[in-house]
Amino acid sequence: MISGQKTQESILIKAMYSASKTGFEALSIGKLASAVGMSKSGLFAHFNSKEQLQVDLLKAIAKKFVEVVITPSLKASRGEPRIRAMLKYLLAWADAKFMPGGCLFLTAIVEFDDKPGPARDFLVSNQKLWLNFISEAASLAIVEDHFQKDLDIELFTFEFHSIYQSYHYASRLLNDPLAESRAWIMLDKLLERSRG
Amino acid sequence: MISGQKTQESILIKAMYSASKTGFEALSIGKLASAVGMSKSGLFAHFNSKEQLQVDLLKAIAKKFVEVVITPSLKASRGEPRIRAMLKYLLAWADAKFMPGGCLFLTAIVEFDDKPGPARDFLVSNQKLWLNFISEAASLAIVEDHFQKDLDIELFTFEFHSIYQSYHYASRLLNDPLAESRAWIMLDKLLERSRG
């Protein structure tokens, strides 16, 4: 499996797969090297520390999130259609095949929330971008006259995000067959009360 | 620090502290032995495998949760006062000193949701007890005429639980100074729409 063309990107895809099962801390350069069929020193040429590997991995996950959630959502019309699209793509993200052990952001949040450092810093700034994206979508829904003018956008943002957290919990931990339909009901109710 | 009176309970308190920082998988019998000042073989007398340690640790966390959240909530009057008390004690739980790295249930959920075995089984049954506790509190609020008769109790349950998830995320990861006040606003709105 050792190959000269093995790029950093393909290593990171493998790392995503592993980290979703074991978490970020358990992902050592040694284990990853054997998973991708490279020598430890060969892998060190790509990531010179475990910390660097974690940051690069988070950046790769963020890039994937843009591909899977952000870009397709932007193709939906502004206002409610885009917000519905965001939930649709989020649910697809939660079940993505490259993260068989569950959402890597939720894993990263639990692991890094109490660990100051560059991984946490990147994660926080990236999550803020995501929350801003939700807020922006809500603002556009006001402009489109889908939502009431005095909507509490910040509250909307956290309520929207919590639908995702709730879905992941019900679907992954509880194997709840109603997880998906409940996520849509939660969104319907949130949209309903946002209209005023 | 080696002492004959060192009980399983005091070891588990130490294990909670560590697991909240490192997660459950990283908590080896060897590391825990050195943290509590016992020999590895001495600790094996209490927990004969890492798997057993994880299950016993989850049971100890569940017992703590009863002390910190369930029992004090039951002292509040049925209906809305009890539901408010539940949020109050949940927020205290999220910030409990014996879990400096954050809520051990959220850590366990991320770690065990994709790992079949006795730890996952215990966690799922325990989370179902908690969800039932929320549902029961909502049912009592209907009986007390605080909530409308046709309330969707299951939806209420997940919405209530998601306030906690959202609080933990905003407070721990984002260090958001509004995390607590937003949790109370989310509850106020949830109660308001539950009244019908």
Q: Is A26 on the interface with B (CB under 8 A)?
A: yes
Chain A, 90 to 109: residues with Cβ < 8 Å from chain B are 100-102, 106-107, 109
Min distance B110 CA to chain A CA atoms (Å):
6
When pLDDT is cut at 50, 70 and 90, the band that residue A4 belongs to is very low
**Predicted confidence (pLDDT) per residue in A10-42, tens digit:** 899 999 999 998 899 888 888 888 888 888 888
Backbone angles phi, psi at A114, to 5 degrees: -110, 20
**Predicted confidence (pLDDT) per residue in B35-69, tens digit:** 888 888 888 888 888 899 999 999 999 999 999 99
Between CA A47 and CA B138 the distance in angstroms is 51
Considering only alpha carbons, which residue of chain A is nearest residue B107?
A110
Min distance B20 CA to chain A CA atoms (Å):
9
Q: Which of B34, B33, B65, B61 is nearest to B46 (CA)?
A: B33
Backbone angles phi, psi at A70, to 5 degrees: -65, -55
Averaged pLDDT of chain B:
93
A181 DSSP assignment: H
**CB–CB contact B166 A170 (8 Å):** no
* Predicted-complex ipTM score: 0.92
Could you tell me the end-to-end alpha-carbon distance of chain B, in angstroms, rounded to an integer? 59
pLDDT value at A89 more than 70: yes
Q: Is B63 on the interface with A (CB under 8 A)?
A: no
Chain B contacts of A135, Cβ < 8 Å? Answer: none
Between CA B58 and CA B52 the distance in angstroms is 10
**Predicted confidence (pLDDT) per residue in A61-84, tens digit:** 999 999 999 999 999 999 999 999
Which residues make Cβ contacts (< 8 Å) with residue B114, sequence separation at least 6? A20, A21, A100, A101, A102, A172
- The pTM assigned to this predicted structure is 0.93
**Predicted confidence (pLDDT) per residue in A90-112, tens digit:** 999 999 999 999 999 999 999 99
SS3 readout for B147-165 = CCCCCCHHHHHHHHHHHHH
Nearest to B114 among A158, A159, A172 (CB): A172
Q: Which of residues B35 and B88 earns the better pLDDT score?
A: B88
